[in-house]
Amino acid sequence: MKTVILCGGYGTRIRDVAEDIPKPMIPIGGKPIIWHIMKTYATFGYSDFVLCMGYKSEVIKDYFLNYELRNADLTIKIGKKSEQIISKISHEEDGWEITLAETGIKAMTGARVKRIQKYIGDDPLFMLTYGDGVGDIDIEALVAFHKSHGKMVTLTGVRPPGRFGELSLAEDGSTVIGFNEKPQASGGRINGGYFVCNRDFLDILSEAEDLVLEQEPMKKLVELGELKVFEHDGFWQPMDTSREFSLLNELYNNNQAPWVKW
């Protein structure tokens, strides 16, 4: 199953931390936040990724194209033709498959997902999340829950400060009957990403550059009764401001990062 990660936005609210790199490349403990997200999935055996890139995509490409060199001891022979001998690999990401997809500089989230449809292949399911939030999500339980209910999309509902898409739930506790994008804090669960999607969800999307995943597509799913929520009461934290950047790095540097299960 592919894991699609949205990492093409400008990250305007965190420019005071890093103006020259895309937000998914802002580090936690020396590694980009997108690496931490990928490690979460890989810990559960999901290591086939599609990165939906846009703003400063070359930074993301450079990081992964040179991943072996960044994480190995090298012996370099200087001469007419320089040679590099990788003498020791010092990472655990062997076997990761990463598709670096150019989805447009200005494209919104819905358009980005639609534009990578060809990389999903014939898989009946795919996972999807944002490239700027970490959590101790039980991916195995999330996938099992999605397969159990038969609806088109599952998203992970979390309980951090309310400034993301808030969910209204039916009495069964898992059917979404309302989706309010970026509300004022009012309690309840909010959209934490970490979606599992049936492949036919892609039919709801279009490549229109202004298509926002969290608006019309989510509202359509609600109308159809095809959106369910996986309740997560553990740790979840986006990195959208310098304060959140400092918080996540402090947790990691003090060996108190709840999302680190590797």
pLDDT band of residue 176 (cuts 50, 70, 90) is confident
Q: Please check the confidence at residue 14 and state whether its pLDDT lies above 90.
A: no
pLDDT tens digits, residue range 98-145?
999 999 999 999 999 999 999 998 899 999 999 999 999 999 999 999
φ and ψ at residue 141, rounded to 5 degrees: -65, -35
Type of residue found at 256: Q
Q: What is the pLDDT of residue 174?
A: 80
DSSP string, 129-154: EETTEEE---HHHHHHHHHHH--SEE
CA–CA separation, 15 vs 163, rounded Å? 19
Q: What percent of the chain has pLDDT over 70?
A: 86
Residues 6 or more apart whose Cβ sits within 8 Å of residue 62? none
- pLDDT tens digits, 34-78: 999 999 999 999 999 999 999 999 999 999 999 988 887 777 778
**Which 3 state secondary structure label does DSSP give 256?**
coil
pLDDT for residue 235 is more than 80: yes
Q: What's the chain's average pLDDT?
A: 89
Q: Structure pTM?
A: 0.87
**What pLDDT score does 261 carry?**
94
* Per-residue pLDDT tens over the stretch 243-261: 899 999 999 999 999 999 9
CA–CA distance, 119 with 102 (Å, rounded to integer) = 12
Other CB atoms within 10 A of residue 64 CB: 19
For 38, the enclosing helix (H) or strand (E) is helix 33-43
Q: How many CA atoms lie within 13 A of 17 on its CB side?
A: 23
How confident is the model at residue 178, as a pLDDT? 73
Count of all residues that appear for the chain in the document: 262
Residue matched to tokens 């400060």: 161
Tokens of 258: 């709840």
Domains defined for the chain, CATH in brackets: 2-253 (3.90.550.10)
* Cβ contact 98:49 at 8 Å: yes
